[in-house]
Each structure stands twice: as C-alpha cells, then as structure tokens.
Amino acid sequence: MTAPSHLALVPFISVDNMMRFVLHVGLERILTELASEIEADFRRWESFDKTPRVASHSDVGVIELMPTSDGEFYGFKYVNGHPKNMQAGLQTVTAFGVLADVATGYPLLLSEMTILTALRTAATSAMAAKHLAPKGAHTMAMIGNGAQSEFQALAFRALCGIEHVRLYDIDPAATRKCAANLEGTGLRITPCKSAEAAMEGAQIITTCTADKQCATILTDNMVGSGVHINAIGGDCPGKTELHRDILLRSDIFVEYTPQTRIEGEIQQLDADHPVTELWRVIAGQAPGRTGAKQITLFDGVGFAIEDFAALRYVHARVKGTSFVQNLDMIADPDDPRDLYGMLMRAKG
C-alpha cells in the first residue's frame, strides 16, 4: 500500500494534548489570545456565512451543529447539552470540531472542543464585557458554579481586571469546588448563600446555569442600575435565566440575532424588540455602554464564528508541535478515480 499523502493525514488534537497545550501556554494567556482572535473575526463579521445552529432537541437535551465559513476556511462544531448527564457522572456539554480548506474541501484539523468551548465561551464573555461593562469594574457575581465558572472568572480577571468574584450555586458542593479551584489565582473569592448575596457590590453579574427550563435566576428587584449582566446559561428554546422585566430595563447585545431570538433570553420578548449585535459595537458602528446608570445585557448563546476563531487559533498554534498527531482519515488512492482498486489492493 502507498503511504497516504500529507493531505490525507488530518492533524488531530486529543483531550490530553489540548490540556498539555493549555498548560504549556498558560490559561490566562490563551484566554487573552482567543479573545483577540474572536474580536478580530467579529470585526469582519460580514465576510462570514451565518446561520442559526442546526439543533436536534429531545426531552433530555439537545445535539447541535454549528457551521460557518469565511470563504477560505470552513468550520463546524458538534456540541450537545444534556443537563441530566451530571447525575450519571457525565459532562453536561461535550464537543468536537473540524476546520477545513474551502479550496479542496479537505479537513485541516479535527479537535476536541469540550475544553476549547469552555475557553472560547469565557473569552467571548470577557471580550463583550470589555466593551459593555462599567469602567473600573472590580467585582463579579458568578451565579452557577459548574464547569464553566472558573474559566469565566479567569477570563474576566485577564481581560477586564476583575479582582473579586462572589460565588453562588444551588448546589453548595459546586461552590466549594469552584472556590477551591480558584484558590491561588490572585482572585479574592467569596462563597455566598444566595444569588442576592452574591450580587452585593458586583458591577458585573454572570449567570451560567444548566437546567433546560425557563428559570428565573435573577428577578427584576435584584438588579440595580449601572451593572453589566453576562447571561450565558440560556442557549436553547425554552431555557432562560432572567425575568422578562430585567430585559425590558436593559440595553441588550447579542451575537447573531436570528439565533438568539430562538435560544436566548430574548425569546421572552416580542420579535421586533430592539437588540444590538455585538460585532457592530466592536466595529464602531453602534454604541455600547453610554451612561453610568445603564444596564447592559450580553445575551450570549454561543455562535459558530467564535468556534471558527478558536479552531483557527489552535490550528496555527499547534502546527509542527507535539500537541498534535496525524490521523489517516481521508482515502487517498494513487488514482483519484480508482477508490475500488485501492480497496482491493488492501487485501495483500
């Protein structure tokens, strides 16, 4: 048999290699560099193909594909969301992704994206807050202390200068886990016994809960003027975290409006309720925070361009390193028309 060509060998980043790569580069450096890549792609937002993610819903969760292309590269992510998995000792969210060459259609990278999604979600949150949060914000409430919480806290420290994180989760064990993991990071950590207590003195409020239901994590009376809300837990139809009245008092910023209308907090509002796409703020086409008393709300559900940027980033960073291995994934006959002959020759 002929050895496969370099195009047939697809670079693959395993979970182990992704962890090694992150620890080698440094978590906060990667969060900062990822945010920069995502922001750069938001600045050229109009050059991308865009579509709401393709979702298959069930009573217990959702499985989704998130595709996009800039004409040179094509990327997609496979991701699930199954809140009850945790009861069986499984991850609520798992993911993998592919980056491909538009000119040939050949894949350039296959990567784990469970860890990478946590990184890009945190980087996107902090990037949005950099444009929307009150100046000089130093305290963040982190409501929901699951798998995403530490990444969020460290991203806000790295990009926004957050010094103090106040934690709350309905499961005290999750709060203890988060507080222990963040010990020694330079952040001041305060575990709290209620969402209201966590929000005391916080200029930024992050909500990141997992239940697939219309929940009211924050009620209207809990939210004072001048704060920035980073609402990232609602990410599918029928799943929200904020009372509708909070939305009516806030200036709302989203990733891709057609998707967020289906999945985000704004599914509670009329279809013509005004929102601003974040890319327009980043590109200087729309204002972000305009006043000290303004409530800004980033209704973040995750969008394919963020995953595309993350895949491009790791593809460039791991090329030629020990953090990537090649997989013989693409059939590569000597004669492209003779796939059958290639199969038969494998007998010998």
List residues with catalytic annotation.
Answer: 235
Three-state secondary-structure class, residue 68: strand
Total count of residues recorded for the chain:
348
**Alpha-carbon separation of residue 158 from 19, 121, 139, 176, 180 (angstroms):** 19, 14, 13, 22, 19
- Classify strands 204-207 and 228-231 as parallel, antiparallel or unpaired: parallel
Q: What is the DSSP letter of 66?
A: E
CA–CA separation, 229 vs 231, rounded Å? 6
Rounded to whole angstroms, the Cα distance separating 330 from 99 reads 14
| DSSP string for 200-224 | TT-SEEEE----SSEEEEE-GGG--
- Whole-Å CA distances, 87 to 60, 83, 90, 92, 347: 12, 8, 7, 9, 47
The one-letter amino acid at 182: L
Q: Minimal CA–CA distance to 67: which of 93, 48, 85, 82? A: 48
Helices within the chain (DSSP H only): 15-25, 27-43, 114-132, 149-160, 172-182, 195-198, 244-249, 257-263, 278-282, 304-318, 339-345
Q: Are 34 and 154 in contact (CB under 8 A)?
A: no
Provide the total of helices (H) and of strands (E) in the chain, helices listed first: 11, 17
